[in-house]
Amino acid sequence: MTTKERYPMTRPAAVLWDMDGTLLDSEKLWDLAVRELAADLGREMTDAIRHALIGASGPNALRILFNGLGLDPTPEALRYAAAFLERRVTELFTTGEIPWRPGAQDTLALLHRAEIPMALVTNTKRSLTEFGLDTLGRQHFQASVCADEVPQGKPAPDIYRRAAELLGAAPEHCVAIEDSPTGALAAEAAGCAVLVVPCEIPVPEAPGRAFRDSLIGLTVSDLGGLLAARSTR
């Protein structure tokens, strides 16, 4: 007997979406930018360092980058690196269209038709998130929260708690959809049910995490089933 057969479908109070790697296939653009930054700083980016950056907020990502590259994270050097990344990512986000992750467009449209409130919850700073919203369609989201708008970005829970608050929903009645270990930790710490759709790196299994290979075919019933199953544990 399936979960959906054993438990009645619970409609999520809201769905809270990560952006890079979950809705948009933009991690590949970030990859290009951070590798160019490393070269500009006279270092070579390794895959291990790059993978450690995925899902990190801006300040945390720069600390990880500088430590990994063996560079002194002076305030001046960090400001230079932040400006380099913002300039380059802006160029990449505004040259052509940002690619979508498989099934993301259809799932956003489905949940929009079902009148389920949605928020965009991203560690990307606001100035760059605005370009993502241009691609995603602002009409899909009743709120958006960026890491530079809360005390701490992911993996801290602040960003998810704030998104749920803006939607007037309790985090435990929300489903968060993420692609990274960092994001999954943040959503769990906030109390959300978590659906993981990995993109660039594997995400460890953990109690309460559900996994899908892609967003293709995802339904409202599937999301409700996550909440219903969790309520019986």
pLDDT of 231 above 70 = no
Which phi and psi (to 5°) does residue 221 adopt?
-65, -40
Residue 225 has pLDDT above 80, yes or no: yes
- pLDDT tens, position by position, 24-60: 999 889 989 999 999 999 998 888 898 888 877 777 8
φ, ψ at 36 (rounded to 5°):
-65, -35
Helix or strand holding residue 196 (H, E): strand 193-196
Mean pLDDT of 103-130: 96
Query: Region 107-116: what's the mean pLDDT?
Result: 96
| Cβ atoms of residues 110 and 219 within 8 Å | yes
Q: pLDDT of 157-185, one tens digit each?
A: 999 999 999 999 999 999 999 999 999 99
Tell the CATH topology of 3-25+99-231: Rossmann fold (3.40.50)
pLDDT for the residue numbered 1 = 38
- Return the domain boundaries, the chain: 3-25+99-231, 27-94
Class of domain 27-94: mainly alpha
Give the Cα separation of 123 and 145 in Å (integer): 8
Q: What is the pLDDT of residue 229?
A: 77
User: pLDDT for 118-150, tens place per residue?
Assistant: 999 999 999 999 999 999 999 999 999 999 999
Phi/psi of residue 13, each to 5°? -65, -30
Residues in Cβ contact with 193 at an 8 Å cutoff, skipping those fewer than 6 apart: 12, 172, 174, 175, 176, 208, 210, 226, 227, 230
pLDDT in tens, 190-217: 999 999 999 988 999 998 899 999 999 9
Distance CA(82)–CA(137), nearest Å, equals 27
Helix (H, G, I), strand (E, B) or coil at 115: coil
